[in-house]
Amino acid sequence: RKRCIRISTGSKQLDAALNGGFQTMSLNEVYGEFRCGKTQLAHTMAVIAQLPKEMGGAEGKVAYIDTEGTFRPERIMEIAERFGVDPDQACENIAYARAQNTEMQAELLDGLAASFATNEYRLLIIDSVMSLYRTDYVGRGELSERQQVLGQFLRRATQMAEEFNLVVLMAHTSPNDSTNQVMSDPGASALFAGVDGRKPAGGHILAHASTTRLLLRKGRGEERVAKIVDSPDCPEREATYIITTGGIND
Ligand code: ATP
Ligand code: MG
């Protein structure tokens, strides 16, 4: 019988706000403006997921679907050193794949089922989940098709999270201001309604699919702020964190 496990984020404050971290068997969305640490969180959790449970890990391997080419093995190695694990081993435990379009993104997900069936994997990262849908389906005319294809992808991801006892961590960049180009993308408003942390409008397909949503923003100085939005088992609350050489920290 599968038992739900929580994986730490690297920040004690953020873990506390999440009742111990992100849960397996769930889809989790991390969103917010550029450079607020979504990719850094993904790298940090890719290492922590491998650690013993006493250290916030899940003793598992990690699958990493990268749509923007922002994965950096050197960062994994630096984060591994923080936690006292072998940097090469940490990299070897991450199955990395670069997706160039939405079709490939969906194929990669399907292709991972065989690996996940070994029961060695506990974390699936998709960074970013939305960017290729935005470039493959441009304009208002393609919005309904985009929603449909994205919906299929998210349903498959949800199913895999449950079947294979995985934390699915999906990042996507969303603007905090109206000058961002995403908002001038016709049709994007339906997908990105609620980016400021309010409840999303009906039709926000990604928000509906996600179990826990984390909205990140820049705080004072080096500080970053994470706000938990729409979680089934956590109240809406905020936690601060910083980005260090060793990854996300307090
Ligand atoms: P985007 O929406 O563009 O994908 P993001 O939310 O994924 O953005 P990240 O790439 O996770 O953003 O975060 C970038 C930030 O991480 C930068 O502010 C950078 O200074 C910081 N950062 C990256 N590497 C290090 C490091 N080794 N030490 C400290 N800070 C770092
Ligand atoms: Mg990023």
Q: Per-residue pLDDT tens for 62-87? A: 999 999 999 999 999 999 999 999 99
Per-residue pLDDT at 107: 98
CA distances from 250 to 14, 56, 142, 184 (A): 8, 15, 42, 35
Confidence of residue 204 (pLDDT cuts 50, 70, 90): low
Q: Which residue has the higher pLDDT, 59 or 210?
A: 59
Query: Which residue CA neighbors atom 2 of ligand 1 most closely?
Result: 34
Query: Which residue CA neighbors atom 1 of ligand 1 most closely?
Result: 34
Q: Which ligand is nearest to the CA of 126?
A: 2
Q: Which ligand is nearest to the CA of 38?
A: 1
Residue whose CB lies within 8 A of the most ligand 1 atoms, among 39, 75, 169, 224, for a mutation test: 39
**35 CB less than 6 Å from ligand 1?**
yes
The pLDDT tens digits of the residues spanning 1-12 come to 788 999 999 999
Alpha helices in the chain (DSSP H): 12-17, 38-48, 73-82, 87-92, 102-111, 113-116, 131-136, 143-163, 181-184, 188-192, 205-209
Beta bridge partners of 23: 6
Per-residue pLDDT at 105: 98
**30 CB less than 6 Å from ligand 1?**
no
- Structure-block tokens of residue 65: 């679907």
Percent of the chain whose predicted confidence (pLDDT) is above 90: 78
Per-residue pLDDT at 177: 44
Lowest mean pLDDT among 111-125, 157-171, 179-193: 179-193
pTM of the model: 0.90
Q: Any residues with CB less than 8 A from the CB of 144 and at least 6 apart, and which?
A: none
